[in-house]
Amino acid sequence: MAEEGRIWSPYIKWSAIASGEGGGKIAALYFCTKQDEAIGDRVLLINTARSDLERTIREVGERVEDKGEQAKSLLDSIRREKIEQFGPPGGAGNFWKEGENAAKDDFEKEELIRRRVETLRLGSGDAIFEITTLGGGTGCGSIPFIIDKMKGGGIGPLAEHKHFAVAAWPEMTEGGQRHFNAICGLSRLLKFGEDAHQNADMVILVDNSLLAERIPQVGELSERYFEMNKQIVEALGLMVAPGRGKSDVVIDVNDYVNFPSAIGVYHAAPCLSLGNDIELIGLEAALDDAMENPFFPMDPSTATMVWLVVRVPQRYYKTGEFEHDTLNTLFSKWVKEHIVGEVRYSAITYEEDTTRDTFDVLLLLGGFKLDKLIPESYERYHKFRKVLESNARGDNIILHGKADRVALSVSELDLTENNLKKYIAHTEEVFEELR
């Protein structure tokens, strides 16, 4: 029997809240191109700058014209119903603390975010994506705080949901301030507050530099980011696909978070292989190709867990290599040869009414060692921190932001930095135990 107040659905139901311009573009693109029954209309875009919200919708709209009238109509519905400006007008000044303060003030006073989340029924599902880029101020500052408020009961039933933070890392060509924001953002997505409790149930990492390398250098910079966002959208679409409905085996939201939370290592990154010719490419070759295309710099062999989703045209579903026992036997052997962990999940899902003869593969690798990118960003973080501390007044770093003066205490910054260092050290310990 369904829980009181809940309507049974043939799909595990997801919602999405995106903060900041970068996160908003990912969420808007997903909503208007995927038309995913698992997410439905449960999408909200928030920002401290109304102009950024409008630019988000405009730029996505310019690049989905070939998707037809339905995509345009869905974008119009976002513009009318699914956006909210919060905090002082004009943005967060590219400083994460200002974005966090804006969200904190909203929860304490205006309650615009909470009301819009409730109006759009984001709490009526089972899990929620919280999407942001980590280099800026608004999303990087507000999303970790919002997750913590949701899990603490600050928005109705969302304390019982599973929270999946989708976090895009700034490119290495960007300045030290963005990497300062990113280090602080990742730390607060993983561990929040003085007690350093687990915040997001899973942190899905993508690196803009790595994705950019695979995109041809054509057109405007915004076009390249659009192509990168399409890859992220494909990965998220595959991740939610095996939630009842069109799947041989259900991967429930709990299957994504229970084991990672149990061992205290809950970051993951997609590895994607799209458009594999069914007649020419075997499943094992597609797995290898996916592992060579991670969304975040890593040594895949250090992964402590893996989820596999294979998407095929309906006429190939449960045939040949795409019959689950056959796939699982091959996948089990592949896991033993390629990653350190023994935890694995796999599912096959299908697309209806397609004439394509290709299949797609998502490997979601979790718990890998964070030694490929974070150290380089830490160097930039420390250089920028020294600049900030040169103007500190006692324990406080003061910036004159758009919301007047913004204070970040040195002790809070120390706590944030140490929480991430402890998490990385624990990740190393888990890897050594499993090796």
> Which one-letter amino acid corresponds to residue 30?
Y
Residue 405 has pLDDT above 70, yes or no: no
Write down the pLDDT at residue 9. 57
Segment 92-96 shows an average pLDDT of: 85
Segment 66-80 shows an average pLDDT of: 79
Residue 121 lies in a domain: yes
Helix, strand, coil fractions of the chain, as percent rounded to 5: 50, 20, 30
Segment 144-172 shows an average pLDDT of: 90
- Per-residue pLDDT band for 4 (boundaries 50, 70, 90) equals very low
Write down the pLDDT at residue 399. 75
pLDDT digits (tens, 9 = 90+) for 314-372: 999 999 999 999 999 999 999 999 999 889 999 999 988 778 899 999 999 999 999 99
* Helices then strands, each counted (H, E), the chain: 14, 14
| Better pLDDT: 77 or 166 | 166
Residue 55 lies in a domain: yes
Residue 295 lies in a domain: no
Residue identified by tokens 């310019």 is: 62
Write down the pLDDT at residue 272. 97
Residue 142 lies in a domain: yes
Segment 73-82 shows an average pLDDT of: 87
pLDDT digits (tens, 9 = 90+) for 104-132: 999 999 999 999 999 999 988 899 999 99
Residue 388 has pLDDT above 50, yes or no: yes
- Per-residue pLDDT band for 79 (boundaries 50, 70, 90) equals confident
Contact (CB, 8 A) for 186 and 420: yes
Residue 5 has pLDDT above 60, yes or no: no
Contact (CB, 8 A) for 138 and 90: no
Residue 227 has pLDDT above 50, yes or no: yes
| Better pLDDT: 34 or 309 | 309
Residue 401 is inside which H or E element, if any? strand 396-401
The mean-pLDDT minimum among 137-146, 309-318, 395-404 falls in 395-404
Residue 401 has pLDDT above 90, yes or no: no
Write down the pLDDT at residue 62. 85
Give the β-pairing of 191-192 and 197-198: antiparallel
Residue 411 lies in a domain: no
Residue identified by tokens 């040869």 is: 337
Segment 30-57 shows an average pLDDT of: 90
Write down the pLDDT at residue 153. 80
Question: Measured between alpha carbons, how far is 297 from 320 in angstroms, rounded to an integer?
Answer: 33
Residue 411 has pLDDT above 80, yes or no: yes
Write down the pLDDT at residue 2. 39
User: What does the DSSP assignment read for 16-27?
Assistant: EEEESHHHHHHH
Domain count along the chain: 1
The mean-pLDDT minimum among 34-43, 228-237, 376-385 falls in 34-43
Residue 6 has pLDDT above 50, yes or no: no
- Write the CATH number for 226: 3.40.50.1440
Segment 366-380 shows an average pLDDT of: 95
Residue 224 lies in a domain: yes
pTM: 0.94
Contact (CB, 8 A) for 116 and 42: no
Question: Measured between alpha carbons, how far is 18 from 136 in angstroms, rounded to an integer?
Answer: 13
pLDDT digits (tens, 9 = 90+) for 415-429: 999 999 999 999 999
Residue 418 lies in a domain: no
Domain limits at 189?
14-240
Residue 398 has pLDDT above 50, yes or no: yes
Write down the pLDDT at residue 406. 76
Residue 376 lies in a domain: no
Mean pLDDT (the chain) is 90
Write down the pLDDT at residue 402. 54
